[in-house]
Amino acid sequence: MAGQVPAKVDIIGASSELNLNLDHTRLMGNPKIDVPLAELRAEALRALGACTAADIDGWLARYLGRKGELTLALRGIAERPADERRDFGAAANALKDELEAALARRVEELGGPAKGSVEALDVTLPGRRSLQGRLHPTTRTIRDITSAFSSMGFQVVEGPEVEYDHYNFSALNIPEDHPARDMWDTLWVDRADADGRRRMLMRTHTSPMQARIMERQKPPVRVVVPGRCYRYEATDATHEWHFHQVEGLAVAEGITFADLKGTLLEFARRIFGADRKVRFRCDYFPFVEPGVDMAIDWKGRWLEIMGAGMVHPRVLSGVGYDPERYTGFAFGMGVERIAMLRHGIDDIRQFAANDLRFLSQF
Ligand code: FA5
């Protein structure tokens, strides 16, 4: 083979001034530099002459595109022997200029750049931004809340949204026919037991996880439970029929109401800042004693964000804990309400409206 290759190759053509001393045998072996430029030139010009307007983009990609043959040759300059680099580089760049000029002439001959062709592209225009997804404000708020509690030593667990009547009500000291059930009307699952009773529902709060966790774990317990809840109720600016809560539960020996208050004040400081006003008030929940609710100042009034209290002895004994030995506190907070307070959102229905004008602000 080597004998058939002329030692001196006119790679640009007889009309060109760039006649280089190139030994083709030295171009072999590396795909980046294994490029006989003269052949490449002849082939590229022949192909260009045969191009229709529809073929131009393909031609451009094949010879001058990012992975085009001439582009690869240019990239291979650095890998050539030092004494050839300058001449080879000059030759390859001259060929590039020649092919670009030939391309421009051919495009003219064919009646100008086709719509959408590379020639029609103005590379000086700013690029189009690709759309980037982001977390829903509810998800971000849940993460902020759970990480505040994680740093205070709470584990994060999740539970089922379709729940047994037992965990949603009975295990929380709300027996059947107890008037407190009216506080949480919900959607029932159409699945009756042998007595014809419907025992499964969309959980009305995350509190059912209190009993589920305590049944499985001995004290000490320190968990937070984020999740979705459902209620059969009319919607307005601060009420949705489905929303999220984060439940909290801490049970051990010697836990007092001061621990509850201290933990919740620290949470409020981390999420809303030290200056935001917080209000505690007595409230009634059948599964705590005493019970409170916590509100944050919002547009000159108070927005309730959670219920809380000391776990009721009947709930503790129901899961096999000794209420004489163990005490604990629990709380359940509304995630969307917390996001409203943090970001100045005035209507809770925005969270599920799926409106990008709202969502892209977070
Ligand atoms: C409960 O759900 C109790 N499980 C909370 C609790 C847990 C008390 C542990 C004691 C111990 P309540 O129904 O008040 O309580 O709801 C708690 C929070 O969820 C409210 O303060 C509010 O922030 C949010 N929330 C309640 N209903 C809605 C609703 N319809 N839309 C949006 N957020 C709501």
Could you state, in order of their start, the residue ranges of all structural domains in the chain? 8-120, 137-359
The angle formed by the CA atoms of residues 22, 28 and 31, to the nearest 5 degrees, is 115
Give yes or no for a contact between 208 and 171, defined as CB atoms under 8 angstroms apart: yes
Active site residue 330: yes
For residue 181, the model assigns a pLDDT of 82
Percent of the chain scoring above 90 in pLDDT: 60
Which of 17-21, 106-110, 161-165, 179-183 shows the highest mean pLDDT?
Answer: 161-165
pLDDT digits (tens, 9 = 90+) for 217-228: 999 999 999 999
Nearest residue CA, atom 34 of ligand 1? 334
Q: What confidence score (pLDDT) does residue 117 get?
A: 57
Tens digits of per-residue pLDDT, 260-273? 999 999 999 999 99
- What is the pLDDT averaged over residues 162-180? 91
Nearest atom, ligand 1, residue 311 CA: 11
- Annotation marks residue 244 as catalytic: no
Atom of ligand 1 nearest to the CA of 307: 8
Are the C-beta atoms of 162 and 189 separated by less than 8 Å?
yes
Average pLDDT of span 161-189? 89
Q: Is residue 45 within 8 Å of 117, Cβ to Cβ?
A: no
pLDDT for residue 5: 36
- 3-state SS class at 306: strand
Q: How far is the CA of 67 from the centre of ligand 1 (A)?
A: 60
pLDDT for residue 80: 82
How far does the chain reach from its first CA to its final CA, in angstroms? 67
pLDDT for the residue numbered 316: 98
The ligand 1 atom at the shortest distance from the C-alpha of residue 337 is 23
Query: Confidence class of residue 130 from pLDDT cuts 50, 70 and 90?
Result: confident
Task: Calculate how far, in angstroms, residue 249's C-alpha sits from the geometric centre of ligand 1.
Answer: 15
Pocket test for ligand 1, best of 236, 245, 336 (most atoms within 8 A of CB): 245
Ligand 1 pocket: which residues have CB below 6 Å? 205, 207, 231, 233, 239-240, 243, 245, 285, 288, 291, 304-309, 330-334, 336-337, 348
Annotated catalytic residue 205 = yes
Radius of gyration, CA atoms only, the chain: 37
The pairing of beta strand 155-156 with beta strand 221-230 = parallel
With a cut of 90, say whether residue 16 has pLDDT above it.
Answer: no
Confidence at residue 327, expressed as pLDDT on a 0 to 100 scale: 98
Closest by alpha carbon to 38, among 12, 14, 20, 64?
12
- Residue 24: per-residue pLDDT: 41
- Choose, from 38, 245, 250, 350, the residue flagged as catalytic: 245
The answer on pLDDT for 41 being more than 60 is yes
Q: Whose CA is nearest to atom 15 of ligand 1?
A: 307
Look up residue 113 and give its amino acid: P
Cα 292 to Cα 54, 111, 159, 239, distances in angstroms: 75, 80, 24, 20
Q: What is the pLDDT of residues 286-332, one digit of tens each?
A: 999 999 999 999 888 999 999 999 999 999 999 999 999 999 999 99
To the nearest whole percent, how much of the chain has pLDDT over 70? 88
User: Which residue, judged by its Cα, is nearest atom 27 of ligand 1?
Assistant: 239
pLDDT above 80: residue 198: no
Q: Which residue's alpha carbon is nearest to atom 14 within ligand 1?
A: 307
Q: What is the pLDDT of residue 19?
A: 37
CATH class in words for 137-359? alpha beta
Averaged pLDDT, 234-259: 97
As a whole number, the mean pLDDT across the chain is 86
Q: For the residues 9-30, what does the mean pLDDT come to?
A: 39
- Tell me phi and psi for residue 91, to 5 degrees: -65, -45
**Residue 155 annotated to the active site:** no
